Amino acid sequence: MPNPIPQPAMPQPAIAPPVERENYLNAKYGVWSWLLTTDHKRIALLYLLSITFFFFIGGFFALLIRLELLTPAGDLVQADTYNKLFTMHGMVMVFFFLIPSIPAVLGNFLVPMMIGAKDLAFPRINLLSWYLYIIGGVMMLHCMLTGGVDTGWTFYAPFSTNFTNTKIVEAGLAIFVAGFSSILTGLNFVVTIHRMRAPGMTWSRLPLFIWAHYATSIIQLLGTPVVAVTIVLVAAERALHLGIFDPKLGGDPLLFQHLFWFYSHPAVYIMILPSMGVVTEIIACFSRKRIFGYSFVAFSSIAIAVFGFLVWAHHMFVAGMSVYAALVFSLLSYAVAVPSAIKVFNWTATLYKGSIHYDAPMLYAFGFLGLFTIGGLTGLFLSALGINVHVTDTYFVVAHFHYIMVGGAVMGYLGGMHFWWPKISGKLYPEGWARLAALIVFIGFNLTFFPQFLLGYMGMPRRYYDYSHMPEFQILNVLSTAGATVLGVGYLLPMVYFLWSMRYGKPAPDNPWNAAGLEWKTPSPPPTFNFDEEPVVTWEAYNYDELDSPDKGAPHKEEVPVAR
Amino acid sequence: MSEHSNSAHAKSPLKMYFSIWAALLICTYITYKAAFIELGSFNAAVALGIATLKATLVALFFMHVWHASEKLTKLVVIAALFFLLLLLGLTMTDYATRPWS
């Protein structure tokens, strides 16, 4: 059954006004039908609301940071406040936005649908993961409102264990709890992907989005417990004076960094791998081609997940670790670039001679390609011991990881939101505005972060609130702050028109992009159990040549939302 | 976890759980006593050894890895051990090669 009939339950003669068919959004009403739901699609929406909330909190902190840096003197906030601002910005964005962003929203929504399942393997655990996230989030908010933390999001010992008197334990606990939410999501995905694929959905037919989420889940499952333990150790040393990181008590401060980065480096791949999965889907659809080198793209996800665990000490080259170990980690850090490059080359090869359409999701995917490549290549600069020593703790590092996390992960997230919004909401978003927003985000992002590469190379250290001894840095900082404003507008726009489209948008057809994939073979929005009957997969992934062949009916452009 | 009720420990799970619990308590007591014996750097080794034994017991019996029929369970256990090895091994590349310590 390669192409199930789109809407089998519709009444045939349309005399009465069209009755909206039952879907996951209108199946039940009321607050409790949401708060006690076990439907993966509704939980995805709960996550969407919550991470958007935290995104704007983190963004607010970022705005204050950029405003402070507009002038060389430290004139907007006190030094202590500034320390808390960048700490809370990092903690909120990393643990409460980026890590759950694509997996918990798009992954939650799409993983079961893409493999032809009714739900995730453990629907209640899925709901539990959202509650853990909310509990962690409330604890984090409470910590923020009662004083915050000033260590940087990295909690480095001995500052965190012996010196600062801010709310370390509270923030640590919040992250500890939120970490379990991430573990549960990963667990759910691994079991679901192993056990609940529809008949015919073999591993080699899985969409690459699924492969990316599988790799992400491995990191979430195996890495997150380590950071949880590390936080407990910090709390134990603070409260009970156990000798873990303090040399006076027989500990070693670098042990903290080893343990912390063992998770927190792979955590970067928790953010970027799902984004790569999204971009793969988008590029295949808007090039109308099977993805080039399917198995290479699939296994490079797994390779990134594994190699990602071998490189953490490149965060510690100047911390006083063994130079021989630094050599090993430098070499291994180069190795992780290989699977990433495999992906970029395969995406490019997919574009080659493709029938490319410049719809909004594709614009975000293009943005991702460029920005991720810049972020990745500057990562190689940082893997090189010599350059690393020169630019450690400068804005070069800040620019590098924002190119990966914001330019990569958030671009992919927004691209995915646009791509699947018709499926999620059942409504079409305004395509013109969406393209404009994609352009604004791209320009704003580069204006914000490219000057930071230059600043860092010139030697401006990160985490300083006052650079009045170096007033020549101001022009680049002004550019960066201006860019942040543009970027802010670019992020607000989608929120506005997505909300607008929920009420005023045109109803979306089941498959507005004429895309391959099981999630498009079910109505928009999907019914509670996703499929009216269990799908049987008899085709390969990304069979765009079959979809576009003349006897298969409508060519791509006819159903696309906006006339061009 | 609900699908392998046919495994061997279904005979008398309570008895098994209590005996494992007793074994864990005994191990804890040994750890406590061993801490008062002066063994130099072996004190830590003994404590860690006992802790590893306890963790193994918990994983095998309380977490049902023993008799697990699922290949996925085994895969997860092996992967977890492998990544633990990475954590310890690569961290030791630092501690074992510091020229000044």
Q: Is the peptide bond before A158 cis (omega within 30 degrees of 0)?
A: yes
Cβ-contact A100, A181 below 8 angstroms: yes
Q: What mean pLDDT, rounded, does chain B reach?
A: 85
Rounded Cα–Cα distance for residues A167 and A148 (Å): 6
What are the C-alpha distances in Å from A187 to residues A103, A194, A295, B63, B72? 12, 11, 24, 15, 11
Contact yes or no for B86 and A309 at CB 8 A? yes
Cβ-contact A76, A484 below 8 angstroms: no
Contact yes or no for B72 and A255 at CB 8 A? no
Compute the count of residue pairs across chains A and B with CB atoms less than 8 Å apart: 47
What are the C-alpha distances in Å from A97 to residues A34, A100, A449? 21, 6, 19
Query: From the candidates A218, A222, A265, A310, which should be mutated to test the interface with B, based on the most B CB atoms within 10 A?
Result: A222
How many degrees, rounded to 5, is the angle at CA A201 between CA A195 and CA A204?
105
Any CB–CB contact under 8 A between A328 and chain B? yes
Contact yes or no for A190 and B86 at CB 8 A? no
Look up residue B16 and give its DSSP letter: H
pLDDT band at B47 (very low <50, low <70, confident <90, very high): very high
* Nearest CA distance, A230 vs chain B (angstrom): 13
Residue recorded with tokens 């500990």 = A251
Element (H, E) at A190: helix A168-195
DSSP 3-state assignment of A203? helix
Rounded Cα–Cα distance for residues A365 and A434 (Å): 13
Contacts of A331 (CB under 8 A, 6+ apart): none
Cβ-contact A263, A91 below 8 angstroms: no
Neighbours of B12 (CB within 10 A): 10
Instruction: Please classify residue A21 by burial: count the beta carbons closer than 10 Å to its beta carbon, then call 0-12 exposed, 13-18 middle and 19+ buried.
Output: middle
Contacts of A13 (CB under 8 A, 6+ apart): none
Domains parsed from chain A with CATH numbers: 33-559 (1.20.210.10)
**pLDDT in 10s for each residue of chain A, 564 residues:** 344 444 444 444 445 556 678 899 998 999 999 999 999 999 999 999 999 999 999 999 999 999 999 999 999 999 999 999 999 999 999 999 999 999 999 999 999 999 999 999 999 999 999 999 999 999 999 999 999 999 999 999 899 998 988 899 999 999 999 999 999 999 999 999 999 999 999 999 999 999 999 999 999 999 999 999 999 999 999 989 888 999 898 889 999 999 999 999 999 999 999 999 999 999 999 999 999 999 999 999 999 999 999 999 999 999 989 999 999 999 999 999 999 999 999 999 999 999 999 999 999 999 999 999 999 999 999 999 999 999 999 999 999 999 999 999 999 999 999 999 999 999 999 999 999 999 999 999 999 999 999 999 999 999 999 999 999 999 999 999 999 999 999 999 999 999 999 999 999 999 999 999 999 999 999 999 999 888 999 999 999 998 888 765 444 444 444 444
Q: What are phi and psi of A463, to 5 degrees?
A: 70, 15
pLDDT band at B72 (very low <50, low <70, confident <90, very high): confident
* Nearest CA distance, A112 vs chain B (angstrom): 19
Cβ-contact A448, A69 below 8 angstroms: no
What are the C-alpha distances in Å from B53 to residues A512, B23, B30, B76? 57, 10, 12, 19
Token pair for A490:
């670019």
Give the torsion through C-alpha atoms of A288, A293, A299, A300, to 10 deg: -90
Look up residue A409 and give its DSSP letter: I
Give the pLDDT score at A19. 64
Token pair for A113:
């649908």
Mean pLDDT of B77-100: 90
The DSSP line for A135-160 is HHHHHHHHHHHTT---S-TT--TTII
Q: What are phi and psi of A138, to 5 degrees?
A: -65, -40
DSSP 3-state assignment of A273? helix
How many degrees, rounded to 5, is the angle at CA A185 between CA A179 and CA A188?
140
Cβ-contact A425, A505 below 8 angstroms: yes
Q: What interhelical angle do A431-458 and A474-504 show, nearest 10?
A: 160
- What is the distance in angstroms between the CA of the first residue and the CA of the last residue of chain B? 47
Residue recorded with tokens 């671009």 = A411
Task: Count Cα atoms within 13 angstroms, Cβ side, for A438.
Answer: 26
Cα A551 vs. chain centroid, distance in angstroms?
39
Give the pLDDT score at A1. 38
Token pair for A365:
């995917």
Instruction: Please classify residue A347 by burial: count the beta carbons closer than 10 Å to its beta carbon, then call 0-12 exposed, 13-18 middle and 19+ buried.
Output: buried
Cβ-contact A153, A85 below 8 angstroms: no
Q: Please name the member of A194, A223, A322 whose beta carbon is closest to the beta carbon of B97.
A: A322
Instruction: Please classify residue A181 by burial: count the beta carbons closer than 10 Å to its beta carbon, then call 0-12 exposed, 13-18 middle and 19+ buried.
Output: buried
Any CB–CB contact under 8 A between A317 and chain B? no
Q: Please name the member of B79, B94, B99 whose beta carbon is closest to the beta carbon of A258.
A: B94
**Helical residues (DSSP H) of A196-252, grouped into ranges:** 208-240
Q: Please name the member of B80, B86, B98 whose beta carbon is closest to the beta carbon of A310.
A: B86
Query: From the candidates B41, B90, B92, which should be mutated to test the interface with A, based on the most A CB atoms within 10 A?
Result: B90
Interface of B with A (CB under 8 A): 72, 76, 79-80, 83, 86-87, 90-91, 93-99
Contact yes or no for B97 and A324 at CB 8 A? yes
Cβ-contact A426, A524 below 8 angstroms: yes
* Nearest CA distance, B73 vs chain A (angstrom): 10
Amino acid at A329: F
Rounded Cα–Cα distance for residues A465 and A255 (Å): 29
Give the pLDDT score at B74. 86
Chain A residue numbers with beta carbons less than 8 Å from the beta carbon of B72 are 190-191, 194-195
Rounded Cα–Cα distance for residues B46 and A508 (Å): 65
Contact yes or no for A324 and B93 at CB 8 A? yes
Give the pLDDT score at A278. 97
* Nearest CA distance, B66 vs chain A (angstrom): 19
Contact yes or no for A322 and B94 at CB 8 A? yes
* Nearest CA distance, A258 vs chain B (angstrom): 7
Give the pLDDT score at A16. 54
Q: Is the peptide bond before A525 cis (omega within 30 degrees of 0)?
A: yes
Residue of A nearest to B93 (CA): A325
Instruction: Please classify residue A450 by burial: count the beta carbons closer than 10 Å to its beta carbon, then call 0-12 exposed, 13-18 middle and 19+ buried.
Output: middle
Q: Please name the member of B83, B94, B99 whose beta carbon is closest to the beta carbon of A309.
A: B83
Of the candidates A413, A418, A445, the one whose C-alpha atom is nearest the C-alpha of residue A433 is A418
Any CB–CB contact under 8 A between A335 and chain B? no
Cβ-contact A453, A491 below 8 angstroms: no
Cβ-contact A174, A137 below 8 angstroms: yes
Token pair for B48:
């860690």
Interface of A with B in 231-260 (CB under 8 A): 252, 254-255, 258-259
Contact yes or no for B79 and A218 at CB 8 A? yes
Cα A396 vs. chain centroid, distance in angstroms?
22
Cβ-contact A286, A560 below 8 angstroms: no
* Nearest CA distance, A33 vs chain B (angstrom): 27
Rounded Cα–Cα distance for residues A541 and A291 (Å): 9
